[in-house]
A and B are shown apart, each in its own frame.
Chain A
Amino acid sequence: MSTSQTIITPIKTDLKLNCLTDEQLSQLQEATLQILETVGVKFPSDKAMAIFEEHGAQVDRETQIVRIPRELVMQAMSTVPRYFTLGARNPELDLQLQDGVTFFTNDGCGHDVVDSKTGERRASTKADVGMMARINDYLSSMSFSWTMVSAQDCGVTSPLHEIDITWRNNTKHYQSVTMMGEEICRYGVEMATVLRGSIEEVRQRPPISLIVCSIAPLVQDKEAIEGALVLGEAGIPIVVMSMPTMGTTAPATYAGALAVGDAEVISATVLMQLANPGAPVFHSILHAWADPRTAAYVGYPLDSRARYAPVEMAHHWGMPALGGAFGTESPELDSWQSAAEVATDPLLVGLAGAEIVTGIGLRDSYTLLYPEAIILDDDLLHQARYSLLNMEVSPETLAIDVISKVQPGGHFLSQKHTRKHMRTAMVRGVCHQLDSEGKYRHPVEYAREKVTWILKNHHPETPSAEVQKEINRILETADKELKG
């Protein structure tokens, strides 16, 4: 059993980027309150509408639109926790949310894979989920795991099979991107309970969490919301993500798009708090642009100044934030576009102070997996991480005595101080890997080799035979019940 990698390396920094002023944040919050109170949000769920009615919101059963008075919003939002724990299978890898620390994971929910050996493009499978979970487990930059591609060979119970294969290949916290609906989520809670031993343990150190998306503008997804309520009851964290597109599903102005997105996230968060006060919820808005001539989805136009404003909005509400990064539109593995579009993302999202960040390793707007892409993107992330590390200034690092020994015109290579520090002074990225002749290798060639090496050599501890047996039983039952 390999224990070659048991550490995680999040971005840590005391620096903070503030794109929005306090006054602007208050204006945005006021806009959300106005939208929730006067326009409302559509909740096509009897269960959700009943909860809102019970707490005094104005519910139109015919249109399914819920209008929430600002007092109710503020009261519900007062119970949302600012920090909590994302439990891992390996307790050493539990994530404690905190100020100044940003935990990253891979991208999620891709559906196509380009095989690195054959170049063939095909639909993703359960085996691909396992393969990427194992690579994620090895990489220290990956603090937790996301469903990188969907297990399309498993039918309607694929979200449960994704949990199963991830646990067999990964010891970190797992955030599902695909669990939808009460039934699937109840099975998810059952699997988490089997893994932890009791529901109390799940509540203390939830080994899974879930991201659900709203439908812009101002509509919630029935299956997503009802599934989230099941998990919220078990203390399992939920990310509510809104993806407003400027010009089509949201106003063509940054503030307007963010207001629509925020209203969606806050309305779902209010519901979660009314149902289960204190339920852990992340705030996330990933806005995009509609091309004004074709309406095509555009994630990286030249002006994307509001990319990480939602992180500040989340914090203003007292919520932790999920920041999206690395969503290049390039379908190519290593084109100029695939790196350039996303290059500043990890630095900016780290400076914005998002608690968790997703997005590493897919191409073609979050849909296409090249297994080796995660190694290339990982490099950009580490670059940002190093940029934000403190520089040590001390007599040892200033090395005045060494400088005086070398004198003008001399060199430092024969100094013992150089011998001591030169090994770690330059950290090699994917662009500076040497071949046998001392020449730099092509980054993609290195990335492919690293993927092969990880898959051959890294074998994370699997769940115990007893736990696995129970999980298999749950999967069989779910397959029988839900696949008909």
Chain B
Amino acid sequence: MSDMFEKLAQAVIDGEPEDAVALATEALDQGLDPLDCITKGLTKGIQKVGELFASGEYYLPELIIGADAMKDALEILEPALVGDQKRDVVATVVLGTVQGDLHEIGKTLVGTMLTANGFRVKDIGVDQPASAFVEAVKEVDATIIGASALLTTTMLQQEKLIQALDEAGLRQKVKVMVGGAPVTDEFAKRIGADGYAEDAISAVNLAYRLADAPV
């Protein structure tokens, strides 16, 4: 049994999404508890990936592929959770690129880093209107929004998003973090956001702070 957890962890560490999915399916076939598979297998693996990245041994692709392996296996294991079983997460984050902006990679990197650090991430994609962020927050009961904008013309949408949250009565419940090449700390403060991060690593630290969780 513990052998299977180790294998799941190893598939994440080695960055083998296909293996992770096959192992998750096999684990359920064997009747193993899906929550144990997540906490004793996948989570241990992604923690190790995080350590290897922090120590400089792993580079970005190893980190991303490790997180992909975890995400793909979670898609098998999470639907199998029964009753009030729930994976422990730091916080749930809705992530997206604002309306009119098709830039994906920065936002995706942040999502991967957050996933690797124990956050649940709902990535709603690119070119998303403020209403889509609001709907997603309601749907997954998120407490943090990450909004990305790569253009000086679209960064204004970040302000509109905050207004939309206000109008929906969600502003007190949800913290908003903003990022993207033209965005600055000063701009974030001006539009009333809760924080700005200039890269994916600082985005994780910011998300920990906003979730009021220990870094």
Please report A residues at the B interface, Cβ cutoff 8 Å: 409-411, 413-416, 418-419, 422-423, 437-438
Q: Which residues of the partner chain A approach B201 to less than 8 Å between Cβ atoms?
A: 437-438
Complex Cα gap A418–B59 (Å): 10
B206 at the interface (CB under 8 A from A): no
B146 at the interface (CB under 8 A from A): no
Chain B residue nearest to A413 in the complex (CB): B64
Chain B, residues 101-129, CB within 8 Å of chain A (1/0): the string is 01011001100000000000000001000
New contact pairs (20) apart from A413-B109, A416-B15, A422-B59, CB-CB < 8 Å = A409-B104, A410-B104, A411-B105, A411-B108, A413-B60, A413-B61, A413-B64, A414-B61, A414-B65, A414-B68, A415-B61, A416-B65, A418-B61, A419-B15, A419-B61, A419-B62, A419-B65, A422-B61, A423-B59, A438-B201
Chain A residue nearest to B54 in the complex (CB): A436
Q: Which residues of the partner chain B approach A414 to less than 8 Å between Cβ atoms?
A: 61, 64-65, 68
Chain A residue nearest to B17 in the complex (CB): A414
Chain B, residues 55-88, CB within 8 Å of chain A (1/0): the string is 0000111101100100000000000000000000
B3 to chain A, nearest CB (A): 25
Complex Cα gap A423–B62 (Å): 10
19 interchain pairs, CB-CB under 8 A? A409-B104, A409-B126, A410-B104, A411-B105, A411-B108, A413-B64, A413-B105, A413-B109, A414-B61, A414-B65, A415-B61, A416-B15, A419-B59, A419-B61, A419-B62, A422-B59, A422-B60, A437-B201, A438-B199
Q: Which residues of the partner chain A approach B59 to less than 8 Å between Cβ atoms?
A: 419, 422-423
Q: Which residues of the partner chain A approach B199 to less than 8 Å between Cβ atoms?
A: 438
Question: Interface of chain B, helix or strand or loop or mixed?
Answer: helix
List 4 tightest A-B contacts by C-beta distance, closest first.
A419-B61, A413-B64, A411-B105, A418-B61
Tally of contacts, chain A with chain B, CB under 8 A: 33
Please report B residues at the A interface, Cβ cutoff 8 Å: 15, 59-62, 64-65, 68, 102, 104-105, 108-109, 126, 199, 201
A455 to chain B, nearest CB (A): 24
B105 to chain A, nearest CB (A): 5
> Are A409 and B68 within 8 A (Cβ)?
no
Chain A residue nearest to B201 in the complex (CB): A438
B102 to chain A, nearest CB (A): 7
Q: Which residues of the partner chain A approach B65 to less than 8 Å between Cβ atoms?
A: 414, 416, 419
Q: Which residues of the partner chain A approach B102 to less than 8 Å between Cβ atoms?
A: 409
Complex Cα gap A416–B14 (Å): 11
Complex Cα gap A411–B126 (Å): 13
A299 to chain B, nearest CB (A): 41
Chain A CB within 10 Å, residue with most, of B15, B61, B64, B108: B61
